[in-house]
Structure 1
Amino acid sequence: MASKLHVERIRQIRGLRLLYAGALVTILLLVISQLLVAPHEYYVSLLSPANISMMFVTVNNATLSKEPPLDDADILHSEVTNPESGRDQEAFQGKGEGQSYGFYNNSQEGQTGALLEDEKKLPGHFTSDSKLGSNEIVSTGEFETTENHSLWNSVEAGFDLKEKVKEPKASTTESYLAFIPDSVTTSMPLPATNMTSLNDNQKDLNVQSINKVEDLLQNGSVSPDNSLALAATSIWRKSKRKPTSISDMNTLLHQSLTSATLLRSQILSARDKELQNARFEIERAPIIRNAPYAYSSLFRNYSMFMRSYELMERLLRVYIYKEGQKPIFHQPYLRGIYASEGWFLKLMEGNRKFVVRDPKKAHLFYLPFSTLKLREMLHQQNFTSQKDLENLLNSYIHSIAKKYVFWNRTGGADHFLVACHDWAPRLTRSSMGSCLRALCNCNIARGFEIGKDVSLPVTYIRSAENPGKYTGGNDPLQRPILAFFAGGMHGYLRPILLQNWSNKEPDMKIFGPMSRDSEGKARYREFMKSSKYCICARGYEVHTPRVIESIYYECVPVIISDDYVPPFFEILNWESFAVFVLEADVPNLRNILLSIPEKRYMEMQNRLKLVQQHFVWHKIPVKFDLFHMILHSIWYNRVFRVKSR
């Protein structure tokens, strides 16, 4: 009997050994097959934050350095030098800049801090010196070790209001923020996160991963001919979620006005109670019945706008922080495509009607810095990465939070900034995400919050002495051109526009970049004045100065930029004077425009003449001009963030 049990026991042991051996062989085969399919030296891997799926960007002829292989932190940082890039062309003419892009992997959910620590130890740059054709993959390069070259500059995985700030490098920030303490613990705003639905956020994790890829591509000096950029953009486009339509944005705006607000659980200050009373009066504004229909139709609710504007003029008081050193703080730049932030800074600091010296009397607090000047500091005075620029803003916020009680009182909800550079959303989302942010780069798919943030118009100012110099256009009957576009091939959409419509129809004048001499500029203006519709196609980012240029020249803007929130969206009824076309509908563009009835076109064109006054700068501000409209939208959004009575 014992012998039989012994034999049976031996059989069981042998069976288990065979099972284990089979499992090991299977695992080894799987590992070998993965290595054959995706060898380390030929692929750059990229995981979504939720570890849901794997995507690959093929890299040919890439030579890796002799650094030890990476383990779990699958992060690759790259830097591309391309002096022929069109990025920041208006603001930095003649400068060839090395920008950065990269691929990130949140390898373990909830361990972002550790991941960022590992990031500092990784190889830092991939330098490309060659010009690639559209049929090439990527040029040969070598990885060079650098220190702390971080492009993912903010931790967005926490909800604690307390944040420990490390001392910034003295050589980097000392001349700008001499008052910053060595180490400060203070109240900080939450990251700019839409908390309406955690389930919705979970569904969009893959989209957020793709958006990071687009962020990195668009924030670097990568030319349209660089096929690595095109390959990554192709991945982004294929994985992009359904765009937010103008009607969807209308719904989001309505929800923001009726949903729970930031201050519902807080004790209101005397100033906030004034805002609460203002909201009560605006919501119950008497109907204005004698307003001209053409003008009143420009607005979502003309009566509410007029009442709000009157209350702003009567009540609003703004305190401007004096902290911060030039050129980043208190130094406006008044020309180029980023001029909106400079003009507002200049006019706000010179204003006596709204600005107060006593911060206790203020309803709003202005953070007076220039993202254009901040961007210019990159690669100067030890500012080696976007992280350094973010650190400067973080230190600035911590310093005013320590010196004043006002930031901590609301977590920054009554503070505002006006920023027009492409990088502004990224540079401000960590330290200033709770603020009212007036941004030119207002992409609802990448953090712009309707009902809190303000869409800032991109105004291309050619003359600081006469900012409204070029306005007006031909009579509607003297506009023989159906549609016009001219511009650089920035981003993925414009090449598609030219491919479909360049030299295809005589009434569709779709060109690439025009000459920048005086003759070319005059020709550009004449095309806009002679066209019924002006195509406002997105470039690297969603915003473009062509929207406001179209209004100046009374050419109905055709906005082709998915997820773009147009200026003063909370106030203006954009569909009454502009046309919105989805990017996917570019091949059908002409049919869409021809389907618009002539009467409808005439109404829109006439309204452009009426809305034009709201988009013009004046050296001395006048009622309802661009300065006042920006300030009003900031005021309006703040009023409706306070709980109703």
Structure 2
Amino acid sequence: MERKLKVYVYREGEKPIFHTPFLRGIYASEGWFMKLMEGNKQFVVKHPRKAHLFYLPFSSRVLRTVMITPESRDRRKLVGFLKTYIDKIARKYPFWNRTNGADHFLAACHDWAPYETRKDLRLSLRALCNADVSKGFILGKDVSLPVTSVRTSQNPLKNLGGKPASERSILAFFAGNMHGKIRPILLQYWENRDPNMKIFGPTFQGIDGKMTYIHHMKTSKYCICPKGYEVHSPRVVEAIFYECVPVIISDNYVPPFFEVLDWETFSVFVAEKDIPSLKDILLSIPEERYLTMQLRVKKVQQHFLWHSKPVKYDIFHMILHSIWFNRLHQLRTR
């Protein structure tokens, strides 16, 4: 990929929906990818006829913010807006029409992105945070975009790392809002039930100033990553960031970079129905296996990090590789 891949970035589209990367918060992945893609000199070409792939640089987060108002929450407006954009691209260039957009790609992190793109962009390569196979995510074409909660855009690697395995005294940790149906069940069974299971609701931040969220991530063996309203959670990448073994509770979730990473070697998948048995499942994991998983979390960590300038094997390269990989898969199987 590094030797061959060339990408054309469309210049069409007005700010802020296009060409405006937002680099903080839980939707930061699409912003960081946009920033690094548009500023890239290794993969990006100025002349579209030299390109293998074509990037559509819009923000699903901003699209939703700009187009949806308290008076009108009709998501069809978002679909119509993107159709107008695609029609403009198709009229101006010959590249969309020759493949119906199959060699075009986007990176969209908002929960609504699968809906926004399911019609006119259905054949395109979609890098989606909401990678839900039950809601139209297509294995072999779509790409699971990691949800990275960036707190400081000036230094996305701030607080990276955690305690060594021998100093992780907490068995399992979760804290968060009660989004969706799974998290209330998690709290029903485990909040204040066991001193080794640090499971908190949205009031967690108010507990003893020193007992911070990051501190718990850095000192827990397992970090619980339950789905919210949708299948994804920023806690998966946060766990890796703080070198805590992720425990993913989301039945239809496709983890990022599964084409090249064996997630079962550095994380635990627990079925939603097995939340009552969560502690038993974790305790059944032999200490030797846990230590191996924790070391592998540290090893794969490099693939989930944003840098101000892309670094080989980092998250920017991994996302682009997944898109390139899926396009090659399409060409081989058609």
Following superposition, the deviation at residue 643 of structure 1 comes to 2.3
Alignment partner, residue 347 of structure 1: 36
Query: For residues 72 and 83 of structure 2, what CA distance do their matches in structure 1 show?
Result: 14
Following superposition, the deviation at residue 579 of structure 1 comes to 0.3
Alignment partner, residue 322 of structure 2: 633
Q: Output the aligned Cα RMSD.
A: 1.8
SS of aligned partner of 2:247 = strand
Residue 603 (structure 1) aligned with residue 281 (structure 2): no
* Aligned counterpart in structure 2 of residue 568 of structure 1, from 242, 257, 270: 257
Following superposition, the deviation at residue 462 of structure 1 comes to 0.6
SS of aligned partner of 1:431 = coil
* Aligned counterpart in structure 2 of residue 336 of structure 1, from 10, 18, 25: 25
SS of aligned partner of 1:409 = helix
- Residue identity opposite 1:418 in structure 2: A
Query: For residues 629 and 639 of structure 1, what CA distance do their matches in structure 2 show?
Result: 15
Query: For residues 518 and 424 of structure 1, what CA distance do their matches in structure 2 show?
Result: 35
* Aligned counterpart in structure 1 of residue 118 of structure 2, from 423, 429, 438: 429
Following superposition, the deviation at residue 477 of structure 1 comes to 1.2
* Aligned counterpart in structure 1 of residue 156 of structure 2, from 463, 467, 476: 467
Distance 1:427 1:554, change over 3 A: same
Alignment partner, residue 98 of structure 2: 409
SS of aligned partner of 2:293 = helix
Following superposition, the deviation at residue 612 of structure 1 comes to 0.5
Query: For residues 521 and 336 of structure 1, what CA distance do their matches in structure 2 show?
Result: 23
Query: Percent of counterpart pairs with the same letter?
Result: 63
- Residue identity opposite 2:274 in structure 1: D
Deviations 1:91-127 (A, max 9, x none): xxxxxxxxxxxxxxxxxxxxxxxxxxxxxxxxxxxxx
* Aligned counterpart in structure 2 of residue 359 of structure 1, from 48, 51, 57: 48
Report if aligned partners of 1:515, 1:521 keep a CA contact under 8 Å in 2.
no
Report if aligned partners of 1:321, 1:365 keep a CA contact under 8 Å in 2.
yes
Following superposition, the deviation at residue 450 of structure 1 comes to 1.1
Report if aligned partners of 2:145, 2:319 keep a CA contact under 8 Å in 1.
yes
Query: For residues 329 and 313 of structure 2, what CA distance do their matches in structure 1 show?
Result: 20
Alignment partner, residue 127 of structure 2: 438
Residue 321 (structure 1) aligned with residue 10 (structure 2): yes
- Residue identity opposite 1:631 in structure 2: L
Query: For residues 357 and 392 of structure 1, what CA distance do their matches in structure 2 show?
Result: 26
Flag structure 2 segments of 5+ consecutive residues without an equivalent: none
Alignment partner, residue 588 of structure 1: 277
Query: For residues 473 and 324 of structure 1, what CA distance do their matches in structure 2 show?
Result: 42
* Aligned counterpart in structure 2 of residue 539 of structure 1, from 205, 210, 228: 228
Distance 1:371 1:571, change over 3 A: same
Following superposition, the deviation at residue 470 of structure 1 comes to 2.1
Query: For residues 457 and 530 of structure 1, what CA distance do their matches in structure 2 show?
Result: 23
SS of aligned partner of 1:319 = strand
Structure 2 matches for 1:31-42, cutoff 5 A? none
Report if aligned partners of 1:503, 1:510 keep a CA contact under 8 Å in 2.
yes
Query: For residues 604 and 346 of structure 1, what CA distance do their matches in structure 2 show?
Result: 33
Report if aligned partners of 1:338, 1:421 keep a CA contact under 8 Å in 2.
yes
Structure 2 matches for 1:44-443, cutoff 5 A? 312-379=1-68, 385-443=74-132
Question: Which fold has the larger relative contact order, with Cα–Cα distance below 8 Å and residues 6 or more apart in sequence?
Answer: 2
Query: For residues 260 and 216 of structure 2, what CA distance do their matches in structure 1 show?
Result: 30
Report if aligned partners of 1:489, 1:539 keep a CA contact under 8 Å in 2.
yes
- Residue identity opposite 2:40 in structure 1: N
Query: For residues 67 and 6 of structure 2, what CA distance do their matches in structure 1 show?
Result: 34
Query: For residues 570 and 323 of structure 1, what CA distance do their matches in structure 2 show?
Result: 32
**Paired residues, number:** 334
Following superposition, the deviation at residue 570 of structure 1 comes to 1.4
Alignment partner, residue 497 of structure 1: 186
Query: For residues 641 and 330 of structure 1, what CA distance do their matches in structure 2 show?
Result: 28
Following superposition, the deviation at residue 530 of structure 1 comes to 1.2
Report if aligned partners of 2:175, 2:204 keep a CA contact under 8 Å in 1.
no
Deviations 1:434-479 (A, max 9, x none): 0000000000111011111110000000101001112111111111
Following superposition, the deviation at residue 522 of structure 1 comes to 6.3
- Residue identity opposite 1:629 in structure 2: M
Report if aligned partners of 1:536, 1:560 keep a CA contact under 8 Å in 2.
yes
Residue 615 (structure 1) aligned with residue 304 (structure 2): yes
Report if aligned partners of 2:26, 2:150 keep a CA contact under 8 Å in 1.
yes
- Residue identity opposite 2:329 in structure 1: F
Query: For residues 521 and 338 of structure 1, what CA distance do their matches in structure 2 show?
Result: 27
Report if aligned partners of 1:486, 1:510 keep a CA contact under 8 Å in 2.
yes
* Aligned counterpart in structure 1 of residue 237 of structure 2, from 548, 551, 554: 548
Query: For residues 69 and 185 of structure 2, what CA distance do their matches in structure 1 show?
Result: 37
Following superposition, the deviation at residue 379 of structure 1 comes to 4.0
Deviations 1:177-205 (A, max 9, x none): xxxxxxxxxxxxxxxxxxxxxxxxxxxxx
Distance 1:586 1:382, change over 3 A: closer
Runs of 4+ off more than 6 Å: none
Query: For residues 560 and 520 of structure 1, what CA distance do their matches in structure 2 show?
Result: 28
Query: For residues 422 and 335 of structure 1, what CA distance do their matches in structure 2 show?
Result: 16
SS of aligned partner of 1:636 = helix
Distance 1:526 1:353, change over 3 A: same
TM-score between both structures, scaled by the size of structure 2:
0.96
Residue 450 (structure 1) aligned with residue 128 (structure 2): no
Query: For residues 591 and 359 of structure 1, what CA distance do their matches in structure 2 show?
Result: 55
Flag structure 1 segments of 5+ consecutive residues without an equivalent: 1-311
Report if aligned partners of 1:383, 1:389 keep a CA contact under 8 Å in 2.
no
Deviations 1:510-555 (A, max 9, x none): 1101455898596111111111111000110100000001001111
Alignment partner, residue 206 of structure 1: none
Following superposition, the deviation at residue 568 of structure 1 comes to 0.9
Query: For residues 158 and 152 of structure 2, what CA distance do their matches in structure 1 show?
Result: 7
Report if aligned partners of 1:377, 1:383 keep a CA contact under 8 Å in 2.
no
Report if aligned partners of 2:205, 2:213 keep a CA contact under 8 Å in 1.
no
